[in-house]
Amino acid sequence: MVKELDVYRQKGDTLADALMQQLFNKHGHKMGGILMPFLSDFDGIDFSQQDEETVAFFSENNLLPDFFDFKEIVRATDFFKKYQINIGIVLGCYSLPYCYLGEDGARVLGFSGRIQSDTYNRLQETGKFVKNVMTLRLWEEKKAIALILKIRLMHAFWRFMILKTGKWDMTWGMPINQEDMMGTNLSFSLIVLRGLKKMGVEIDQVFEKAYYHHWAVVGQLMGISPELLVFDAKSAINLDKAIATRQFKSSEIGVKLTESLSKSYQKMANNELVSDYFNAQTRMFLGEQYADFLGLPPSKYPKALLNTINKTSSLLSNIYA
C-alpha cells in the first residue's frame, strides 16, 4: 500500500487539470476572476458567463458511478439529518484538525493563505458543501453532482495556481494530490463515524455502510481514482492507518492552522470559552499524541462535562446546520 500511495501522491486530476491549462491559455491570470465566483457559489448553477470548455466539463462529468445506489443515498442523508448537530461538532473539532496532521497536504492551505486570512468564509464554504451533499433533495434534482464538480474544479484551480508560483516542492507530492484527496474524503466518512461513536452514538451497520457508500460516490465525482475508494469500515481503517503512518507529524503549519481554527470559532461565537471547549473537545477526539502534534493545550474540561455541553449546546455545530 505504501508504494501505491507514493504513486498517488504524485497524481492530481487529469481531466480537471487539463481544463485549467486550457482556461489559462485562453485568459491568462484573468482566469481566476472568471472562474472562482462561479465555483464558490454553492446555490446556483448558472453557466451563462462560463467558457464552453467549462460547460463541456460539467456536461461530460455529470455521470454517477456504476456502483451508485439511490437507496444508500437515502439512508445516508437520513442518518445525517438525524445526527446533524453531533456531526457538526465532529466536523469542527475532529475532521478539520485531523486533516492538519498531514504536514505536506496542509501546506496547500498555507500557500493559498485562505485558512489563515479568511478562515470564517472557508469554514462556511466547507459547511455548506457538506450540508448540500448530505441533502437528499439535491440528489433527487441532480444538483448535488454539479456542486461536487465545482469543488473538484476549485481544487484543480488551486493546484494549477500553486504550481504556477514555482515555489512548490514536489517532494511534498502534487498539491491536492490523490492521497490527500482520499484522506480528506476519509475525514468526512470514517472520522465522522468514529467521532460519533466517541460521543456515545450507536450506529447501525446498515447506516454505516450507507455513509461509506455516499462518500465513495462523492469521492469519485470529486476526481478521486476509483481504486482508492472505500466502502466499509475495515477498508477505511486500513487506508487511514496507511496515510496517517506516512503523513501525520508535528508541524508548524499544522499548529498555525489549528490556532486559526480555534480563533475563528471564538470570533463566531463571541465567547472566549469556545476556544477552551474546542481545545478540550479536539483533544478528546484526536487522542493525546495527535493533539500534541497540533499544539493543543491540556484540556480544562473533564469528559463528563464535555458530554453535557455537547448535549445542551450547539456551539460549533451551527456552522454546519
Given CA atoms 39, 40, 42, 45 in this order, what sign does their dihedral have?
A: negative
Name the residue range of residue 189's domain: 2-320
Distance CA 87, CA 143 (A): 23
Distance CA 61, CA 134 (A): 20
Angle, helices 143-164/103-112, rounded to nearest 10 degrees: 90
Instruction: Quick: pLDDT tens for 148-200.
Output: 999 999 999 999 999 999 999 999 999 999 999 999 999 999 999 999 999 99
Q: Which helix (H) or strand (E) holds 27?
A: helix 14-27
Quick one: three-class SS letters along 218-251? HHHHCCCCHHHCCCCHHHHHHHHHHHHHHHECCC
Amino acid at 8: Y
Task: Please give the pLDDT value at position 41.
Answer: 86
Q: Which helix (H) or strand (E) holds 98?
A: helix 96-100
- In angstroms, the Cα distances linking 191 to 30, 184, 198, 237 are 38, 10, 10, 9
Distance CA 128, CA 8 (A): 28
SS3 content of the chain, % helix, strand, coil (to 5): 75, 0, 25
Task: Reduce the DSSP state of residue 55 to 3 states and report it.
Answer: helix
Quote the cell numbers at residue 302: 473533564
Q: What is the count of structural domains for the chain?
A: 1
Q: pTM for this structure?
A: 0.92
Mean predicted confidence (pLDDT) in 284-297: 94
Residue with cell 477526539: 285
Find out whether 320 and 87 touch, Cβ atoms under 8 Å: yes
Mean predicted confidence (pLDDT) in 133-157: 95
Query: What value does the mean pLDDT of the chain take?
Result: 89
Instruction: Quick: pLDDT tens for 39-94.
Output: 988 887 778 889 999 999 999 999 999 999 999 999 999 999 999 999 999 998 99
Distance CA 142, CA 174 (A): 31
Task: Please give the pLDDT value at position 242.
Answer: 97
Instruction: Quick: pLDDT tens for 233-283.
Output: 999 999 999 999 999 999 999 999 999 888 888 777 666 667 778 888 999
Cβ-Cβ contacts under 8 Å for 232 (sequence gap 6 or more): 209, 212
Distance CA 320, CA 129 (A): 9
Task: Please give the pLDDT value at position 3.
Answer: 67
Distance CA 317, CA 209 (A): 24
Q: Look at the chain and count its residues.
A: 321
Higher pLDDT, 192 or 115: 192
